[in-house]
Amino acid sequence: MSKRIDTSKIERIRDAAIEIISEQGIPNCSVAAIAKRAGVSVGYLYRHYSGKEELINDMLELYFNIINEKISSLIAEKHGVEEIVEGVILHILQISRENEARIKFLIMLLNDFSVTIRPALTARVDALAEELMIMIRNSPGIRSDLLPDDLYHAMIGLPMQYLALRYNRIISCKEPDCADTGHIVGQAMRLIKAR
């Protein structure tokens, strides 16, 4: 008989890992610290994850799939290129407003080369990118030399970089809402459109 999984404990483990990583970085995050903050034993954590890397990959896949699902739904709704780019950017900014630690976590993981991304997640991103590229190739005004990397940089990398600048206080913000979506979408579209 299989053991029952206490989903609230798993969520507490994930939340604790996100908090510690977003506060201290991946190298300073230990399994013991995660378990302590989550209020579970180290043994309990190891029953579900072989170690920190598997836990991080599980969360990376979970949160990246949320973004991937948004992209899929925008494609399925037959939105145009600009609407898809804007929809994804709005989605990322909304996540940042709701839970800043999750976006900080993703930013850190996207910039930490010690984390090995599972092949299944890479395959999912590649498949979505190809689906987008097929749709975009038929769109007027799009760069003829556009690569999937360019597209993902415009939709995901650009808003993540923008948020990283804000979180690091590299640039200041004078308005109450620092996320000027229109400006970010405009920058993203300049990366995609033909000149």
- Three-state DSSP at 142 gives strand
Domains within the chain, CATH numbers bracketed: 1-49 (1.10.10.60), 53-192 (1.10.357)
Per-residue pLDDT of the chain (195 residues; tens, 9 = 90+): 445 667 889 999 999 999 998 888 888 899 999 999 999 999 999 999 999 889 988 888 888 888 889 999 998 898 888 899 999 999 998 888 888 888 888 888 888 777 778 888 889 888 988 888 888 877 888 888 888 888 889 999 999 888 888 877 666 655 445 557 788 889 999 999 887
Cβ proximity of 5 and 58 under 8 Å: no
Gap between the Cα atoms of 78 and 173, Å rounded: 35
State CA 63 to chain mean position distance: 6
Per-residue b or e along 45-55, where b marks 16 or more CB atoms closer than 10 Å to that residue's CB: beebbeebeeb
Place of tokens 């299989």: 2
